[in-house]
Copies of this chain bind each other. A is one copy, B any other.
Amino acid sequence: MGLVVQKYGGSSVADAEGIKRVAKRIVEAKKNGHQVVVVVSAMGDTTDELIDLAEQVSPMPAGREFDMLLTAGERISMALLAMAIKNLGHAAQSFTGSQAGVITDAVHGKARIIDVTPGRIKQSVDSGNIAIVAGFQGVSQDSKDITTLGRGGSDTTAVALAAALNAEVCEIYTDVDGVFTADPRVVKKARKIDWISFEDMLELASSGSKVLLHRCVEYARRYNIPIHVRSSFSGLQGTWVSNEPQGDQPMEQAIISGVAHDTSEAKVTVVGVPDKPGEAATIFRAIADAEINIDMVVQNVSAASTGLTDISFTLPKTEGRKAVEALERTKPRVGFDSLRYDDQIAKISLVGAGMKTNPGVTATFFEALSNAGVNIELISTSEIRISVVTRADDVNEAVRAVHSAFGLDSENDEAVVYGGTGR
């Protein structure tokens, strides 16, 4: 039996009871003969409470100090978790990100991991301890300041440690049973996925699935660390994310992995762009200089009569104002007619390997939407994904229609998905 990295999110350790429940589960893994390294997030609302305190003393808290503040949250949960494990009669030691050797750059609030030097963790588990590591945090390489990794940081910590420690698996414990073929709150017949490839999971993550973040999956793929996403409230097998189906997992790989949707984006259309070389470049350079990540980009065929075209793209709603302002400033140079901003859109994506080699997929997708009376505004495709933009109001119906059309519906009337404390 090898080494296992387990990660528990804030909802799993929301209170003393949660911590004790998680401690029991960790001890089980140890009893089964594994070396166990645990990555833990801050308890439930701790981070929000700390942010609230920061806002009370300063409207614009500095990054270095803000990171120092927030990392207190994991310090509390990890120490309590180690105590709870010891109380069950097993040796445990807790480590800060810095002590665990999580070395980052110095970009406070969203630092990137540069290196992981897990010497102390290795030594701790080799001496028989369960090692508890603070998620979401590291130490900057040059200035030795405490940093935080930003959204999904604890998952990334777990995968990075799993890679550095050559773990068998990185188990991500959460409050759902795994990755589903669609959001079960929207599609009652959504099914838990037993296994999914890194590539498909990356597409789902970037298409709106929130169970795993793109960054964490990307890291796992690069180091080929299998991820097992599962509920901390049940003993069920969850979803394996890996290069190849794991162990007992069924080998039958569906072409279609699932349907994701995303209502967090807005659409910007630049109307009446002169159809000549360099205009699009000017537009997207302006967006890039404003440090805005865009998602889909579509350019219509220009009307022969006018020599003008329209360029549309999607981006996070939160960046909408900044993008519009940046584009307004390019207007004198580009000479477009007008800007349209629309934040009442939804993106629906179908993800699955082998899509390109299966010509019927696109047709079935569009027919399903059409039959449901859903209008398509933009289309974009990749090797393993088709995405469309529709009205936000249509999103639930559209997802259900597509899910059903591709035979993803479970035979049960209703998927049992969200674990509760009673399970």
Contacts and interface: CB of A to CB of B under 8 A. Distances in A.
Interface in A240-298: none
A191 to B, nearest CB: 37
* Interface size bracket, A side: 35 or more
Copies of this polypeptide in the complex: 2
A75 interface: yes
Nearest to A86: B62
Nearest to A52: B16
Interface string A76-92: 10111111101100001
B65 A83 contact: yes
A58 B87 contact: yes
Contacts of A120: 144
Contact of A54 (B62, B68, B83): B83
A65 B86 contact: yes
Nearest to A74: B72
A59 to B, nearest CB: 7
Nearest to A61: B83
Given A59-B87, A65-B94, A96-B146, 15 more contacts: A20-B57, A53-B76, A53-B80, A54-B83, A57-B87, A58-B83, A58-B86, A60-B87, A65-B86, A68-B75, A69-B76, A69-B79, A69-B80, A69-B83, A72-B75
Interface of A: 16, 19-20, 23, 50, 53-54, 56-62, 64-66, 68-69, 71-73, 75-76, 78-84, 86-87, 92-94, 96, 99, 120, 144, 146
